[in-house]
Amino acid sequence: MAEARPLSLLWPNGRAAHSTVPLSELAGADLELGTIATALADGDGPATRRVARERFAHQVLTQLLTEPEVISYRQAVLADLLARPELCAELEQLVPKLEALADAPHGERFRPTAPAGLERVARRLADLELLVETVARLADALTQAAPASAGLCSVAAELHQLRTSTEFEALERELPRLRETLSSIRSVTLGVNLGPDLAPQSATILELSTTPIEGRRALLFRLLGGAGEEHGLTPLQRGDAGPLGRPNELVRDLRHLLADVVGPVATALDRFGRISTERIGRLGPELGLLLGAVRLMERLRDAGLPICRPECLPMEERRSELVDAYDIGLALSQRGGIVANPIQFGPETPRVWVLTGPNRGGKTTYTRAVGIAQVLFQAGLFVPALSAQLSPVDAIFTHFPTREDPRPGMGRLDVEAERLFAIFREATPRSLILLNEALSGTSALEALDLARGLVRGLRLLGARAIYVTHLHELASEVEEINASTPGDARVGSLLAELEVLDGDGAARRTYRIVARPPRGVSFAAEIAEQHGISYAQLERLLRERRLT
């Protein structure tokens, strides 16, 4: 059988030779992608398997697709699964089997004629049995579901071709006979010579039997040092050399005898050396991810939150149009109270937004939602919004608050300036740049002048960008920046909105982000009150401590 391409639900033609751009570890941490990867990996199975699924989900999220056909390929598979809950239920049962096939040895390692092949033969036989069972069940499930997506249809066609091949049909016929042969030996009868003090002196193999030895221990077995009377035999000590223990003379004799039984099985399996479990096993991590995405979408919809299949726009348009978008990480950690907001970048709206507003007013959450929506879109998944149109980006750059750099002579402003320079050194007009409180490591007067130059640079570059800042004066100058700086990326002002209450004119946060000039309210006094550091609170505390 000729070498066949791997089966894949994530890559057209089964090969990952498509254009992707890596997301930096720093950007992944700023966007808190670990929370989403954990949600995608959620499901049944041992902890080690969930860790592997989470690692795979993180890998998919941090390799941004740039080709619309690959994005559409994955989206169609996901839409197909969403529309077929019965198929999803069957696939959930098959994922652990596919993951086990992915773990099976392949290449020369699975050839049972290799040295010390007794255990290899048993493992190879079990792997092929699992392969035949899984291929049959998966092919039947896809045939019955009649999927519409190119990905599921391609896998169904490839499975049918594999299942009806001469070599695979021969394997399916041979496996029951080989299993019967390998399982025919169930026990070994040993003869033990004892000394005058009943100490065992030597042993030899008397017989191979097709039935296991059972029964209560006799005095002789107790004298030989067995533990527990409920077992019929003393368990063999399992040494480093394999399940038969250390290779002493008795073990070597047993291996030679078993080889007479295993030899014909190994010869028969060698005929199927070109049938690899790897081709099918690759579907395990992919299906685990896609089914995790289906569960996540159902969870969000049950909570009353929208989730949609985004439309892919040309990269050159540099557009993002989302209705009722939200931070999926916040939705996963918080019950209720999620506020959705529009996201707009494009030729008719600003591409560079200066976002101001009160502390804890939702600015960071909104900025993170912009980045997460782009990541999910370019992973080929659905996005948290009522509707979405997005152009792919060639990179996502983030600058969120970090700890002080431990390098000598590097203050906070030095670290910020270094990171910002690295962004402008690599970013293009097709990138997405998310700056959260950049240039906060200096005085307000100096920060305003530096931030003004930074925003002008963003307009000149033309990338989609958000600059979150407490510098309300900067947001007030957006029209002046547009007039004084060349470029086709208009700068606009976003505001984390406040709602003025009746009566004394107090205001509260609404967590709505609107295109509006700044108001200059930061809620700093309220936050100081919450943490007990207003002057009145500090004065009272020190008086209570009798220090004033």
The CATH number assigned to the domain holding 477 equals 3.40.50.300
Percent of the chain clearing pLDDT 70 (strictly above): 80
pLDDT at residue 219 is higher than 70: no
What whole-number distance in Å separates Cα of residue 548 and Cα of residue 544? 8
Q: Are both 45 and 176 inside the same structural domain?
A: yes
Boundary residue ending a domain (231, 257, 291): 291
Is the overall model pTM greater than 0.85, yes or no?
no
259 lies in a domain? Answer: no
Percent of the chain clearing pLDDT 90 (strictly above): 51
pLDDT at residue 136 is higher than 90: yes
What whole-number distance in Å separates Cα of residue 131 and Cα of residue 127? 6
- As a three-state string, the secondary structure of 263-283 is HHHHHHHHCCCCCCCHHHHCH
Boundary residue ending a domain (248, 264, 291): 291
Per-residue confidence (pLDDT) for residue 321, from 0 to 100: 97
Boundary residue ending a domain (262, 291, 320): 291
396 lies in a domain? Answer: yes
Q: Which domain holds residue 92?
A: 12-183+273-291
Task: Give the number of C-alpha atoms closer than 13 A to the C-alpha of residue 354, restricted to the C-beta side.
Answer: 30
The per-residue pLDDT for range 503-515, each reduced to its tens digit, is: 555 667 788 999 9
Per-residue confidence (pLDDT) for residue 240, from 0 to 100: 46
Q: How far is CA 82 from the centre of its chain?
A: 19
Q: How many domains does the chain have?
A: 2
Q: Which two tokens stand for residue 538?
A: 């500090």
What whole-number distance in Å separates Cα of residue 114 and Cα of residue 117? 5
